Amino acid sequence: MSDTDSKIHVGVVGRAHGIRGAIRVFTDDAQSDSLLKIKAVYIGNSPDARTVKRATRCGRFVALEIEGIEDRDAAFELTGQDVYVERSRLRPLKNAYYACDLIGLSIVDETGHAWGEVDAVMPSGAHDLLRYRRAAGGSGLIPFVAAHVGKIDLDAKTVLVESAWMSELDAVYGD
Please check the confidence at residue 1 and state whether its pLDDT lies above 50.
no
Note whether 59 and 116 are same-domain residues: no
Q: What is the pLDDT of residues 70-126, one digit of tens each?
A: 999 999 999 999 999 998 888 777 778 888 889 999 999 999 999 999 999 887 778
CA-to-CA distance for 147 and 162, rounded, in angstroms?
Answer: 9
Closest CA to 18 of 73, 94, 90, 80: 73
Question: Region 23-50: what's the mean pLDDT?
Answer: 90
Note whether 63 and 109 are same-domain residues: no
Closest CA to 58 of 85, 89, 22, 82: 22
Domain range spanning residue 66?
7-89
| More confident site: 42 or 6 | 42
Q: How confident is the model at residue 175 (pLDDT cuts 50, 70, 90)?
A: low
pLDDT of residue 85: 94
Query: What would you report as the CA-atom Rg of the chain, rounded to the nearest whole angstrom?
Result: 19
Cα 85 vs. chain centroid, distance in angstroms? Answer: 11
Note whether 33 and 74 are same-domain residues: yes
Query: Which residues, other chains included, contact 24 with Cβ-Cβ below 8 Å and sequence gap of 6+?
Result: 13, 14, 15, 16, 17, 58, 61, 62, 63
Note whether 35 and 79 are same-domain residues: yes
Domain boundary among 47, 64, 89: 89
Average pLDDT, the chain: 89
pLDDT of residue 150: 92
